Structure 1
Amino acid sequence: MTTPRLGIVFTPAHDPARLIDVARAADAAGLDEFWLWEDCFSHGGLTTAATVLASTDRIQVGLGLMPAPLRNVALCAMEVASLHRLFPGRFLAGVGHGVQRWMGQTGARVASPMTLLDEYSTALRALLRGDEVTVDGRYVTLDAVRLQWPAPNEPFFLGGTGPKTLRYAASHSDGTLFAAAMSDDELAESCAEVIAARRSEDHRIIAPRLVAVGAGADDRIRDEVARWGKSDAHGLAVTGGAADVAREVTRLGQMGITSVVAHPTDDEPDLEGLVEVLGQTAAAVR
């Protein structure tokens, strides 16, 4: 088993005005990854990713997941390639279906999300490689489009839920991002789907995990789990200190997960304090 990388997600529940301070704290604490969720209608994912990349020195910055229905694929490729070239080796770009209710609110919902994801990710990967792309698909249409400044050697991630999407992500990307609030059984089943379908043993599997430390941690986790419509936090979250989180990271690594992303509760009162504990955790598991 390879020791999983450890990161944190700055969730849409937290004011983007706090973003730079928390990102710099994560960078200084030695965390491996800093993730951003592009939830409608909250933080803009590419804006916040660029901000974090420009405000930190070494930490990898992940964006998951950009909803395919919301962005023209050529524009997405331009933005992603630019960030890759500005910050080589540090940007982890992820694409997914988008929450269908939100896609409906924006008028972007499609009849076949899987068809769109296939057309979109195929075109996006080709554009990032520097290929000239002409396609007339059900949802994606491009006519002799080629990026002037591609990013051919950078990783590309997909994510979502359900066996079909997970198998597609495993076989068509460099890494799969799981949804938050997955139970142990769901994580194990999802890992098995990805491992069976992945095109390389280097395929990364990124899993968020609810984490709360300090006074009131158990209460915050209980409230968060209830907001997610779950009745029990068992197998969904970890509380305590650095040693407790380290044990959870090791346990998840044994399932096949390569990156564990600490997911704060919506009411986390001290993000920098959580980052400090995660830094201690990262040092302990390496």
Structure 2
Amino acid sequence: MSDDSASDGPTWGIELTPEHHPDRVADLAARAEDVGFDVAFASSHYFNRDPFVALSRMAAETDSIRLGPGVVNPYESHPVKLAAQAATIDEVSDGRGVFGVGAGDRSSLANLGIDHDKPLRRVLETFKLAQDLWDGETVTHDGTFTAKDASLNLEPDGEIPVYVGAQGPHMLRMSAKHADGTLINAAHPRDLEWAAGQLEQGLADRPDSYGPFEALAFASVSVAADEDEAREAARPPVAFIVGGAAEPVLERHDIDREAASAVSEALERGDLTDAFGHVTPAMIDAFCIAGTTETVAERFEAALEHVDGIVVGSPLGPDLEDAIERASEALELADSA
């Protein structure tokens, strides 16, 4: 955890996935607010419901929790459009908006015929442009994307915090230098400790005028009363994490390469059942915080040695409402330890 953290206590965040009807997602956000979560992110994947529609419903059903996409990418939508959508959520939530932005999943973008070109530069240009638009400026930009005399017909009352989704060293360092926070795509203390080292390098170059910076672990979590049920529910997200994991990450956890290849190959041919079946206990330990409330609390405590807060990410658990309650209990236990 850095000395530049944005608050004294850890931030409690949650990822809500619009694979469910927006009304259900809004109810889950209200429950998360009731049990003490500070911020709720709606994940963005082309095959799910629109995150901004979900966020609009979430805003209507909540009063204090901060809300934003977690995370959108500047390939599927033009960065000016993303800036307008984020500002709209900030407006309808009475200033509770946050902007989670990242490079997107390479394989998902490939499904749409989109080239994942210059991701670091494109993400940086996207949120810098958005900040100018939110300040009421008319912008012209010629870089990884083009905008000419673009402006918005709405302007946020205050600043919208920018959180960059990051996993690799360059994106982590860039987020620490330029953004308000980072969402570290990791759950294990070993990965979070490594990421913290990258963030420190970025913070060394951060202008003082940018204000505080917050590092959050955007962690896959599965919590339930039964340990085995929690771990079983973790298989799908862990399979996708393994399928996209870089070699240094697999090496850091000594993951069986044959098993990892079997997962990746099954995902590529669309055989999800086979992919999930190849997920090993070691993969779940490395890439998900899974277990009972007490087990998860211990893992949260270990993670908080390296970050300023935790975003409880997919799958949450086999029962979503129960998992939200248990995750808040685990965060409280970890915070008081």
Give the TM-score of the pair, scaled to structure 2: 0.74
Show the counterpart of 2:323.
Answer: 274
Q: Is 1:148 matched up with 2:153?
A: yes
TM-superposed deviation, 1:228: 3.8
Once the 2 structures are TM-superposed, how far is the Cα of residue 21 of structure 1 from its aligned partner?
Answer: 2.2
Q: 1:175 aligns with which of 178, 181, 190?
A: 181
Could you say which residue in structure 2 is the equivalent of 1:249? 300
SS of the residue 1:159 aligns to? strand
> In the alignment, what sits opposite 2:309?
259
Question: 3-state DSSP class of the match of 2:72?
Answer: strand
Show CA shifts across 1:33-61 (max 9, x none): 22221022212121111111111121122
Distance 1:164 1:110, change over 3 A: same
From 31, 34, 38, the counterpart of 1:28: 34
User: 2:268: which partner in 1?
Assistant: none
1:213 maps to which residue? 224
Distance 2:322 2:182 in 1: 29
CA distance in structure 1 between the partners assigned to 2:331 and 2:55 by the alignment: 22
Query: RMSD of the alignment, in Å?
Result: 2.6
Letter in structure 2 aligned against 1:109: D
Report the counterpart of residue 256 of structure 2 in structure 1: none
2:11 is aligned, of 5, 17, 30, to 5
Equivalent runs, 1:149-168 vs 2, <5 Å: 149-151=154-156, 152-168=158-174
Q: Where does 1:2-151 land on structure 2 (aligned, <5 Å)?
A: 2-14=8-20, 16=22, 18-143=24-149, 145-151=150-156
How far apart, in 2, do the equivalents of 1:247 and 1:94 lie? 27
Give the superposition deviation at 1:197.
Answer: 0.7
Q: Which one has a larger percent strand, Structure 1 or Structure 2?
A: 1
Quote the Cα distance in structure 2 between the aligned partners of 1:222 and 1:75. Answer: 35
**Identical aligned pairs, as a percentage?**
24
Q: Count residues in correspondence.
A: 282
CA distance in 2, matches of 1:84, 1:11: 19
Moved more, 191-200 or 271-280: 191-200
User: What is the alpha-carbon distance in structure 1 between the residues aligned to residue 22 and residue 155 of structure 2?
Assistant: 29
1:13 deviates by 5.0
**Is contact 2:15–2:70 with CA below 8 Å preserved after alignment?**
no
What does the per-residue CA deviation read over 1:100-121, in whole Å, with 9 as the maximum and x for residues that have no partner?
2222332432532233223322
Partner Cα separation in structure 1 for residue 109 and residue 194 of structure 2? 27
Matching of residue 190 in structure 1 with residue 195 in structure 2: yes
Cα distance in structure 2, aligned partners of 1:205 and 1:87: 24
Secondary structure of 1:154's partner?
coil
Task: State the distance in 1 between where 2:13 and 2:85 align.
Answer: 23
Distance in 1 between the 2:287 and 2:144 partners? 38
Deviations along 1:232-260, one digit per CA (max 9) or x if unpaired, are: 122433344444433333322211x1221
Secondary structure at the counterpart of residue 8 of structure 1: strand
Between 1:156-165 and 1:233-242, the stretch displaced more is: 233-242
Highest RCO, 1 vs 2 (Cα 8 Å, sep ≥ 6): 1
For the Cα contact (< 8 Å) 2:74–2:103, is it kept in 1?
yes
User: Which SS does the other structure have where 1:265 is aligned?
Assistant: strand
Contact 1:208 1:260 in 2 (8 A): yes
Unaligned runs of 5+ in 1: none
What CA distance in whole angstroms lies between the structure 2 residues aligned with 1:185 and 1:37? 25
Deviation larger for 53-62 or 242-251: 242-251
